[in-house]
Structure 1
Amino acid sequence: MSNEITMPKLSDTMEEGKILRWLKHPGDKIARGEAIAEVETDKADMVLESFEEGVLDQIKLNEGESAPVGAVIALMKSAGAKESKPQAKSDAKAAATGESKSRAQSDEKPATLDAMENPGAEAAATPDVPKPVAIKPKAAEKKEPARKPISPAAVVTDGSAGDLHVHPAMSANLSAAPTAIAAPPPRPEPPKPAVDDEAGDGHKLRASPLARRAAEEAGIDITHVRGTGPDGRVTKRDVDNFLREQQLFKFRRLVSPREGAPGSREELSAMRKTIAKRMALSKREIPHFYVTVEVAMEDAVRLKDSLEATELFEETVTYNDIIVKACALALGRYPRINASYEDEGIVIHPNVNIGVAVAVEDGLILPVIHGCERLSLLEISRAAHRLVAKSSRGGFTSDELSGATFSISNMGMLGIEHFAAVIVPPQAAILAVSAIKDRPVVRNGQLAVGKTMMMTGSFDHRIVDGVVAGRFLQELKRFLENPSSLLL
């Protein structure tokens, strides 16, 4: 008897999924944890894997077709089972033995979503019914943990305002095969003090073990990285710079004018449909108000430059890392900003989970750095670099795309001087960060040139009053203008 594989619910807002490509075909053996199909959801294209092992018996949903959550998309049998027989012969055999057709159908009722998520519960209630085969999303590597449903608050955009994230190295593509990044190299041997590889041009490639590990995690070919160390040795910093250049290229391609003839019509993808619903809900339901502050950034620029020059950190600390750390400290002093409006009440969250908006092919996603109130600037930088590596090769987990309590949207890369972002429901606020610019400032009564940055907070007036929002931004400004406090 075949076990039924059903369409799983991969996000809170998902109602149906579309099969993009079957990775297995009838008769193929399937190991536990092996990928069987690529599915388009309302958040991203996900690779699905099986919790059970067996042989794929029948495919019920063809490539390009959609089905609601819980619908049967394929049948799988145990490895030792016989080939499935035509339905007519099965019915004839059932009639000959006195079994009714309805009894035969009841033995193969579709597995529900609850049963898929908790197979033991249905098995205990109905011992004769085979355990449904559950499938889970698979990231770019099989060792990635199973994803949980993605929170609907994990996507944010405002097409009219051009609300795109411009983290210097965090433009993501969730597809399994990134467009601008080379294919992952074979897993190297255990690190050695110094190893020489044969590069494509016949020269020897020297790279530190740390650089090799970083390149492997990011899924890039280290032979494409130009080394700046002794004798052209590739360092971890070289890999970071290479990643940043690649992400910059991808981001500029993403924000360039899209193809399409005037007067044409484009169908919305599942992600774009979700973005449209969530942003319309945000603007319709949340009473936005906006507060802007100008921040002197000379000391922050010097801090970043000195950290890079002294190479105290393995990772290059970015301005976005500095802003995330400053926000974490300011939110700790103004916890009402780190809140949500839920069920006619206000929930103040115990942890500061900051989401950073990232541009993707068809919208935005919101990778989250969890527990920022406990993290040092170095730890925040490391967490951000891990997300950079994920964005290069795809494979975010649902945990990394959900649970944000506060959001940051940064357009500094584009030289934008001022903009306002749309709040991600049910959060209380989002911070829009603009470019650091040389502007005229007054110091001690004298006109001078200073490096300043505009920040605009969008706040939910049901949760936050104007005075509290203003004080929060002043506290954030104070931390950024005194960045040595961020190192404590």
Structure 2
Amino acid sequence: MSCIEVMPKLGMTMKEGTLVNWHRNEGETVKEGEILFEVETDKLTNEIEAKEDGVLRKVLVNEGETVKCLTPVAIIAGKDEDISGLLKQAEAGGSKAAAHKTSTKEKIEDENIDTADIETHRVKVSPAAAKLAKELNVDPSSIKKNGRIMKKDILEASKTSKAVEMQHTSNRGEKTVKMSNMRKVIAERMKKSASISPAVTYNMTMDTSELKRLKNSIKDIFKVTYTDLLIKIVSQVLKEFPLANCSVERDAFILKDYVNMGVAVALDDGLLVPVIKNCDIKGLRQITAEFNELVEKARENKLVPDDLTGGTFTITNLGMFGIDTFSPIINQPEVAILGVNKIVNTPVVVNGQIIVRPLMSMSLTADHRAIDGAYAARVLQRIKQYVEKPGLLVL
């Protein structure tokens, strides 16, 4: 069997991808289903499997090149098979896309690793770990571990072996560490957001006593977190306050009759915001299941571009890190983002008596082009009403 491998289209929104790593060299045997190359799109790196058994006869796209989806990248065929026809077919299919190739030599120098050593020693390394290993000058084959090597293994190895590659700029031990691709994307987007949105952050404290009771009352049915509950609450609130769920285009507001909730997920080297689609018409159990699946995919580097696009509002929870209050940055082209802070047992006066209640501050950052202070305050008041009386929720 023979085939032309192409740059895959990993989602409806993907238009192009960067081939960052070949797992086989020309002339080497390839098995159907094994990892052939890696593709980087935005913040994600995906491993692409071979479609056929055979030999990697011809590499058409080099590491570091960016090409449009469905552009031919390689030919797999028998060792002695005539591939002249396939070469012509690939050339015809990729002639237009070839003009769009973009060299990213610096990216490869920063993030690519020598996979030949890994294959020789039969060590499986995640794409994220492979990038980090290159940055920290760590040889993954030197790590003794059963199973796949992850980023935490590379970090530990770099500490114990003191193999961090530093560029000293003074005798006082300064060093230059280049940003990962994910970090560069985050930096660019945050800078862009700050320049686009005249943003104001509003804070409000809420009593989570009843929300905690609800969470505990259903734990024997299915496990739910405060984040899951807040996704459900905010989804309902956004239907009541459409300006908080819109986007701004020139002199118009684009109102959305649906809620696609982005939820920030912290990883070792950055932040991803997978999106749960149509939250406003889904029950709590379905929201919880979908969010758990997205978090797992994020941690295993299995997200595809569609998982990260289409959001209309974002929630970012730093409560587990002990944060009292912060000013989250709006995820463009959205107009608002909700920051969730830690729960603190706090003495309060109720009916003339001092009692202790679990209080939590919410931080709503809003784009003042669409949301004035009074409107933002009403959004937070409505969230507070659901948090303190969750019986009003349609679960």
- Same structural fold, with TM-score higher than 0.5 when normalized by the shorter chain: yes
Over 3 Å counting, the alpha-carbon distance change for 1:305 and 1:398 in structure 2 is same
Larger Rg: 1
- Cα deviation, residue 387, structure 1: 2.2
1:408 counterpart (306, 311, 315):
315
| 1:353 corresponds to which of 244, 260, 272 | 260
1:66 aligns with 2:59: no
For 1:150, the equivalent position in structure 2 comes to none
How big is the alpha-carbon RMSD for the aligned residues of Structure 1 and Structure 2? 3.7
- Please state how far the C-alpha of 1:292 moved relative to its aligned partner: 0.9
Q: Is the 8 A contact 2:215 2:225 kept in 1?
A: yes
Counterpart of 2:297? Answer: 390
User: What one-letter code is carried by the residue in structure 1 that aligns with 2:296?
Assistant: A
State, as a whole percentage, how many aligned pairs show the same letter: 34
- What CA distance in whole angstroms lies between the structure 1 residues aligned with 2:14 and 2:369? 24
Q: What is the rounded CA distance, in whole Å, between the counterparts of 2:196 and 2:301 in structure 1? A: 33
Aligned partner letter, 2:48: L
Q: Secondary structure at the match of 1:479?
A: helix
Q: Which amino acid aligns with 2:355?
A: A
- Provide the TM-score with structure 1 as the length reference: 0.59
1:354: Cα distance to partner? 0.6
The residue number in structure 2 matching 1:234 is none
Q: Counterpart of 1:273? A: 184
1:465 deviates by 1.7
Counterpart of 1:210 in structure 2 is none
Counterpart mapping for 1:136-151 below 5 A: none
Q: Structure 1 pair 379/425, CA: closer, same or farther in 2 (3 Å)? A: same
2:74 matched residue in structure 1: 75
Take 1:30 and 1:112, find their aligned partners in 2: how far apart are those partners? 28
Counterparts of 1:113 and 1:413, CA distance in 2: 50
| Structure 1 residue 357, shift from structure 2 partner | 0.2
Mapped to 2, the partners of 1:112 and 1:455 lie a distance apart of 53
**2:366 maps to 1:455:** no
Q: Distance in 2 between matches of 1:106 and 1:451?
A: 66
Residues 347 and 113 (structure 1), Cα distance of their counterparts in 2 relative to 1, 3 Å cut: farther
Q: In structure 1, what is the Cα distance between the partners aligned to 2:257 and 2:25? A: 44
Separation (CA, whole Å) in 2 of partners of 1:106 and 1:323: 52
How far the C-alpha of 1:383 sits from its partner, in A, is 1.7
Q: Which amino acid aligns with 1:312?
A: I
Cα separation, 2, equivalents of 1:436 and 1:59: 55
Partner of 2:375: 468
Q: Output the amino acid matched with 2:359.
A: T
What does residue range 121-200 of structure 1 map to in structure 2 within 5 Å?
Answer: 175=128
Task: Provide structure 1 residue ranges, at least 5 long, that are not aligned to the other structure.
Answer: 86-103, 116-172, 180-219, 221-248, 254-258
Whether 1:338 aligns to 2:336 is no
Q: Is the 8 A contact 2:203 2:362 kept in 1?
A: yes
| Partner amino acid, structure 2, of 1:44 | L
Deviates more, 1:468-477 or 1:68-77: 68-77
Counterpart Cα distance in 1 of 2:89 and 2:290: 50
Q: Distance in 1 between matches of 2:241 and 2:346?
A: 30
After TM superposition, give the deviation of residue 392 of structure 1 in Å.
4.5
Using the alignment, how far apart are the partners of 1:53 and 1:112 within structure 2?
Answer: 26
How many residue pairs match? The answer is 330
**What TM-score results when the alignment is normalised by the length of structure 2?**
0.72
CA distance in structure 2 between the aligned counterparts of 1:15 and 1:267, rounded to whole angstroms: 24
Larger relative contact order (CA 8 Å, sep ≥ 6): 1
Partner residue in 2 for 1:188: none
Encode CA deviations 1:404-450: one digit per residue, 9 max, x unaligned.
11000001111111111000000010000001101122212333321
2:235 maps to: 328
| Cα 1:322/1:475, change in 2 over 3 Å | same
Q: Distance in 1 between matches of 2:95 and 2:337?
A: 38
**SS state at 2:194 partner:** helix
Letter aligned with residue 65 of structure 2: A
Name the SS for the 2:320 alignment partner: helix
